[in-house]
Amino acid sequence: MTDVRQTFRPPRLAILYLVVAWAVDYSLSSSAVLPDGYRFWLSLVVVVVGVVLSYSTITLFERAGTTHKLAGDNATLVVEGPYRWSRNPMYLGLTLIVLGIAIYGGSVPFLLVPVAFLLTLNFAFVRWEERRLEAAFGDEYQAYRERVRRWL
């Protein structure tokens, strides 16, 4: 049986949540709760930071000769770069992308997406991945967990 995490991987889940927010926003004719003034530029900056963070983490995995994919076997525990401050910088980057899009949308349905997305990541993905990493790397991962916070 296929794990639901393989079908609804985080990028797909982010898109799904944003499409649902757009549909709700459109059907309710919601108005923006954030002022228009700097919304575009703020959203752009947040999205760019998220893209850079996500891309840099993928590059670290490639350099270490391991995979960032959920179903892949982790050959190496990556602990440098952004992983020195967060055990989940790739998910943080994706959450920043979602947050930037939500800021641009500006309405309540959009602004609920980053919260729902982060909660889904935390409970459906991160805890599962932590069990896998602990099984694969044992004491090395346990020491890393004690040194570095889950999110920030």
Angular region, 72: left φ>0, alpha ψ -120 to 50, beta rest = beta
Whether 61 has a pLDDT exceeding 60, the answer reads yes
Q: Is 152 part of a structural domain of the chain?
A: no
Instruction: Tell me which residue range forms the domain holding 118.
Output: 10-25+35-67+75-147
Residue 5 lies in a domain: no
Question: What confidence score (pLDDT) does residue 12 get?
Answer: 94
| Mean pLDDT for the chain overall | 92
Looking at the structure of the chain, the number of domains it has is 1
> What is the pLDDT at residue 70?
67
Is residue 60 domain-resident? Answer: yes
- The answer to whether 135 touches 126, Cβ cutoff 8 Å, is no
pLDDT of residue 5: 67
- What pLDDT does 1 receive? 38
Dist. CA 152–CA 86, nearest whole Å: 5
Share of the chain above pLDDT 90, in %: 78
Q: How far apart are CA 122 and CA 127, in angstroms?
A: 6
Q: Give residue 96's pLDDT.
A: 98
Domain membership of residue 3 (yes or no) is: no
Give the whole-angstrom CA distance, residue 131 versus residue 13.
21
pTM beyond cutoff 0.95: no
Would 127 be classed as within a structural domain? yes
pLDDT of residue 68: 80
Residue 138 covered by a domain: yes
Q: Which residue type is seen at 52?
A: V
**pLDDT at res. 35:** 84
Question: What is the tens place of the pLDDT at every residue in 9-52?
Answer: 999 999 999 999 999 999 998 888 888 888 999 999 999 999 99
Selected residue with higher pLDDT from 117 and 76: 117
